[in-house]
Amino acid sequence: MTITPEAKKNDTLNRSHRAGLLRHWWIVLLAICLIAIGAYVFFIKGQSGGAKQGQSPVTRTVPVVAVAAKKSDMGIYLTGLGSVTPLNTVTAKTRVDGQLMEVLFREGQTVSSGDLLAKIDPRPFEAQLIQAEGQMARDQALLKNAQLDLQRFRTLWEKAAIAKQQLDTQEALVHQYEGAVKADQGQIDNVKLQLVYCRITAPISGRVGLRLVDPGNIVRATDPNGLVVITQLQPITVIFPIPEDSLPQVLSRLKTGEPLPVEVYDREMREKLAMGSLLTADNQIDPTTGTVRLKAIFPNQKNELFPNQFVNARLLLEVRHGATVVPSPAIQRGPQGTFVFLVNADQTATVRPVTVGEIQGGEASIKTGLSPGELVVVDGADRLREGTKVELKAQSGGTAQKGY
């Protein structure tokens, strides 16, 4: 039997086709196996992970810091950033023109009202005083002579020895000299006053600043700067703003006449500088900020406060007695409102909804939902759920805090 070339060619093509189909099926089968293995591994891991995740809130122990809620008096404060403002600030100036002969104060010295600060050359005014006194002596002599002549003219007029016109003229001359004497006296008093102004004294008690004019210079009453600035330090005031919504409460307390305590702290609110009381409130609200300015007064006996110093002022508006108080970090907020995490006797955490009152100085008052003595979590609450096991620790790593 003879095999033709065409039959050989067809046989070769058929065998190649069967080999290609076989390889294709092997590849499909291998892919199906890989997919099945991957799905199995994913399913097993998902189940094990879900089981672990479902068990973690109950089985995992979370270290937390907890403190007991306490019953305490809580002050309600209004706080504002203010500046120290003196009650009086005066620029000591000369009231006469002349040469500054002597400066009697030290820069930064504390002076009392009436203390001598500087002297101006008095000699020009002393010369004017001598001249005015000489003019007055001359006019007094003329007046005395005119008065004597007037008495003679009256006697002669009574005897009809002179005319009435001559008597009237003499009376007018006497009045003229009397006016001249009064003018001389005014000139003398004015020169004496200039001599007083040659001694520049402190108009108020306070601290003097830096000297603005050196001795030897010519000073004038029209000089804008003056000699030195004196600032009253005792007592001193602080002006600070509060929100306009708090103004009615402040005004109602001011009407009672009871002093409202004001504490002053440094800019970082770390150190208390002074204690004083509220003096008054401004008569208008600033429309750009919605605040009103308050003024508090402080004795400042130790010069704790300095003019133009920036401070934090705290006005004690009222005191809430017997409030349930917890640290403000214990307060948590969620979709259902505010709540705290309590630590039960079995060392598990539970969620307790609370109504929060005022928050002042790192403490929060609780109106409802909490009783004094109950342990609340203040650190570690972000890792807690209902029923989570907790381990009580102090902030330093010791035992739990039972109070604060």
What is residue 54's predicted lDDT score, i.e. its pLDDT? Answer: 43
Please state which of the four CATH numbers 2.40.420.20, 3.40.50.10680, 2.60.20.30, 2.60.40.10 is assigned to the domain occupying 61-72+321-392: 2.40.420.20
Alpha-carbon distance of 376 to 348, in angstroms, equals 12
pLDDT tens-digit readout, 46-56: 444 444 444 44
**Token reading at 54:** 């479902």
Confidence check: pLDDT of 259 > 50:
yes
What is residue 382's predicted lDDT score, i.e. its pLDDT? Answer: 85
The sheet with strand 199-201 has its strands ordered as 199-201, 116-120, 98-103, 218-219
pLDDT tens-digit readout, 82-116: 999 999 999 999 999 999 999 999 999 999 999 99
- The CATH superfamily of 78-87+232-320 is Efflux pump adaptor protein, beta barrel domain (2.40.30.170)
Whole-angstrom CA distances from 39 to 11, 44, 223 are: 43, 9, 96
Under the banding of pLDDT at 50, 70 and 90, the label for residue 360 is confident
What is the Cα 78 distance to its own chain's centre? 11
pLDDT tens-digit readout, 132-190: 999 999 999 999 999 999 999 999 999 888 889 999 999 999 999 999 999 999 999 99
Which residue in the block uniquely carries the two structure tokens 């600043």?
A: 209
CATH fold group of domain 89-230? OB fold (Dihydrolipoamide Acetyltransferase, E2P) (2.40.50)
What average pLDDT does this structure show over 360-380? 86
β-strands 61-68, 389-392: how paired?
parallel
What is residue 61's predicted lDDT score, i.e. its pLDDT? Answer: 86
pLDDT-above-90 percentage for the chain: 55
Which of 98-107, 227-236, 262-271, 393-402 is predicted least confidently?
393-402
Alpha-carbon distance of 41 to 396, in angstroms, equals 45
Confidence check: pLDDT of 334 > 90:
no
User: Of 228, 234, 226, which is closest to residue 209 (Cα–Cα)?
Assistant: 228
